[in-house]
Amino acid sequence: MRIADKWNDYRILDTTDGDKLESWGGKVLVRPDPQIIWKSPKRTDMWDKADAVYHRSSKGGGEWEYRRKLPESWNIKYRDLTFVIRPTGFKHTGLFPEQAVNWDFMADKIKNAGRPVKVLNLFAYTGGATLACAAAGASVSHVDASKGMVQWARDNAAASGLSDKPIRWLVDDCEKFVKREIRRGNFYDGIVMDPPSYGRGPGGEVWKLEDCIYDLVKTCAGVLSDKPLFFLLNSYTTGLSPSVMAYILNDVLTTQRGGSVTADEIGLPVEATKGVLPCGSTAIWNS
């Protein structure tokens, strides 16, 4: 497992019985996590001192219980990047801290390329990967279907002092955008994609990751340049193992372009137990 253990402003303090106790820049939150199936004893009194707790509803969704008044948003840092944190009605805060291991990987590849690098970030959310790649010197096309998420990403870029970097902010359907880029003859040296597990399109089309991911990867391979650096694929779907994602990247890319594929779970350290909480998987094709 690859562990995102370089954080200073984010910590998992403890986990038990479906919940994780987190510190986000000193603000302590309790949020549910389906991976936490163990019912170990609580190992810190910080559980009773949490600023806010997210309660799931049996009807779906949920709501925050605020035990202390929190600002609407606040900032945390990772290395030289700054992120705006804002608890949402769907338990999220606008950032997946485990992705820091992938930010570091991409930043290193870009810095060591010795040439201009173009990166395509699909399903780009609030822009963690976009900021990491732009700060490393790449020009980035940031694509997400949610106007609100793209604006949040722009806010993160501004907070990080990266507003003047060559970033294209695009509110668009990712698959349709890629198909247009193929027709336009636009190519990228790196692709990172973090597709949702499940969703519906504007016409009511059902998106299910297991059913759609192979064709999507195959389509995206059509915008890779002649000298690509990487293709990085994330998944939070428990039914989509690292090995399955590795097989897809190998079948679509390695058989045609050479290179190699690695895949593993990614996770975050838990302070109370010195264990690691699994937070999804990443498969990476390297040229």
**Average pLDDT, stretch 112-131?**
98
Cα angle 42, 43, 45 (rounded to 5 degrees) comes to: 85
Q: Of 175, 284, 191, 195, nearest to 236 (Cα)?
A: 195
Distance CA 151, CA 60 (A): 27
Residue 203 predicted with pLDDT over 70: no
Residue 121 predicted with pLDDT over 90: yes
Residue 218 predicted with pLDDT over 90: yes
CA 49 to chain centre: 29
**Which helix (H) or strand (E) segment is 245 a member of?**
helix 242-249
Residue 201 predicted with pLDDT over 70: no
Give tens-digit pLDDT for 20-41. 999 999 999 999 999 999 999 9
Distance CA 101, CA 5 (A): 8
Residue 175 predicted with pLDDT over 70: yes
Distance CA 1, CA 9 (A): 22
What residues are paired with 58 via a beta bridge?
none
Residue 191 predicted with pLDDT over 90: yes
For residue 200, the model assigns a pLDDT of 65
Assign domain 2-85 to its CATH architecture: Sandwich (2.60)
Confidence of residue 117 (pLDDT cuts 50, 70, 90): very high
What residues are paired with 285 via a beta bridge?
231, 261
DSSP symbol at 43: -
**Number of residues assigned to the chain:** 287
Give tens-digit pLDDT for 275-286. 999 999 999 999
Distance CA 107, CA 104 (A): 5
Please say whether the beta carbons of 141 and 174 come within 8 A: no
- Which one has a higher pLDDT value, 204 or 100? 100
Please say whether the beta carbons of 252 and 218 come within 8 A: yes
Question: What are the domain boundaries of the chain?
Answer: 2-85, 97-286
Report the chain's C-alpha Rg in angstroms: 19
**Average pLDDT, stretch 65-94?**
96
Whether the model clears a pTM of 0.85, i.e. scores above it, the answer is yes
Confidence of residue 108 (pLDDT cuts 50, 70, 90): very high
Which CATH class for the 97-286 domain? alpha beta
Confidence of residue 208 (pLDDT cuts 50, 70, 90): confident
